[in-house]
Amino acid sequence: MATSAKNKNDNQIFELVCPDCGAMLKVDASTRSIIAHTPAPRKRTFEDLESAARGMREQDERKESIFRQAVDAEKNKTDLLEKRFAEALRKAKETPGTGKPLREFDLD
């Protein structure tokens, strides 16, 4: 997609289309620099106002759902931590106390 043109100073200018964003770039071959940039036309997110409003309502519903899930997780968090603590306490009581742990230094 590169086209070339000559200007009055006989420098070669290339017009390139960016494969990533679709922008039009003009590149001077002698200096190897971009001398002009034309951004690609922006795509419309919504076709009309009604679809934009519908999209906003759907986004609000998703936000509310995520918030409710976070609140429920926070409520259950204390119960879960209490159960984990009780289980760890039960295991600590069941295992016999061995006293001080042995160090490698003590084994010599």
pLDDT tens across the length of the chain (108 residues): 455 444 445 568 889 898 888 899 998 888 888 889 898 888 877 788 888 899 899 999 999 999 999 999 888 898 889 999 999 999 888 887 667 777 777 776
Report the pLDDT value the prediction gives residue 98, as an integer from 0 to 100: 64
Report the pLDDT value the prediction gives residue 7, as an integer from 0 to 100: 46
Please name which of 16, 10, 15 lies closest in space to residue 30, comparing C-alpha atoms: 10
Q: Is residue 102 part of a domain?
A: no
In total, how many domains does the chain have?
2
The whole domain housing 23 covers 3-38
Report the pLDDT value the prediction gives residue 45, as an integer from 0 to 100: 78
In this structure, are 86 and 49 located in the same domain? Answer: yes
In this structure, are 14 and 33 located in the same domain? Answer: yes
In this structure, are 51 and 85 located in the same domain? Answer: yes
Q: Is residue 72 part of a domain?
A: yes
Q: Is residue 49 part of a domain?
A: yes
Q: Are 19 and 1 in contact (CB under 8 A)?
A: no
**Alpha-carbon separation of residue 49 from 69, 76, 86 (angstroms):** 30, 41, 56
Report if pTM > 0.85: no
